[in-house]
Homo-oligomer: A and B are copies of this chain.
């Protein structure tokens, strides 16, 4: 026992992996499965349940759609009618979470109604707090993969997120989850430095969605807010059709292994480099014949996998984590204030794409 060791800040968390959601599956059926996962998570003592990206429906950006065929996948957020938590698609989930005393991260397709009656669509997630009895965090996916126009090459799998969604406009807003650990320092206590609770307040949460996890900038902006837990749901195609699989003439099996490597390098590498836990949750299995990878993992701030899903079906992956484990690396190897040199990072903001050195 060292006197410099932080006090434990234990919390049990659950990754609620979903197996495939087919086009024909009704919202009611999917919601029923999610309520069952939530109940299993709570029964195992979890205080946070993380669901996948676009959890309530099939991963529809793989199809070229319009009109009502597209509209059916969206949840409408109309400020004049109250928040999304009042939507019939969400209310049963959040009501049950409140009754069970468990927080929820969940991804959905957001149709945001504007003041002039038009709408903007985002690939979004919200964080529902059982203690606050309401949504305390919202995120809109910044790094949309794929294309706006359908791919035309033979055998191409579509990935039309750039067609259906606008890039998120909220940045990467970390937030605190009230009461998620016991004994958290409160603003009213007067016992803290105003700028820094030094890892003793309510847990600091960040949210990403799917492809975002491959972008170090996203993790770092959260890391610079002291993030302790990153929640990230995803739908990731098991057989990539560009950049890797087809062009490298890989078998489906080796292509899927490569996709899993990329998933794990992203989640483990960025958790390590930002000294945070991450809960990475798949929608997986074959949706109407379209295979998605699994690989739901809970990752430690030292980069190793604490627990991993064993199936490609609905499955709850539970782990008890100690948020104090973040604070050793946050105060040493990754003590940002001691080691970072932003004066040399200017190109990260100054340019979007590549500018190569001149030819010789």
Contact = CB atoms under 8 A, between A and B. Distances in A.
Contact of A354 (B248, B330, B332, B354): B330
Interface in A146-183: 167-168, 171-172, 174-176, 178
Interface string A332-360: 11111111111011111111111111111
A167 B341 contact: yes
A244 B354 contact: no
A224 interface: yes
Contacts of A247: 2, 4-5, 328
B348 A225 contact: no
A114 B134 CA distance: 61
Interface residues of A, number: 88
A328 to B, nearest CB: 5
A217 B262 CA distance: 19
A15 B302 CA distance: 27
Contacts of A172: 344
Name which of A243, A266, A331, A334 has the most chain B CB atoms within 10 A of its CB. Answer: A243
B352 A342 contact: yes
A352 B328 contact: no
Nearest to A185: B359
Nearest to A132: B360
Contacts of A65: none
B272 A359 contact: no
A76 interface: no
Contacts of A143: 339-341
A234 to B, nearest CB: 14
Contacts of A4: 247
Interface of A: 2, 4-5, 142-145, 167-168, 171-172, 174-176, 178, 185-187, 192, 195-197, 201-202, 204, 211, 214-221, 223-226, 242-244, 247-248, 258, 261-262, 265-266, 268-270, 272-273, 302-304, 328-342, 344-360
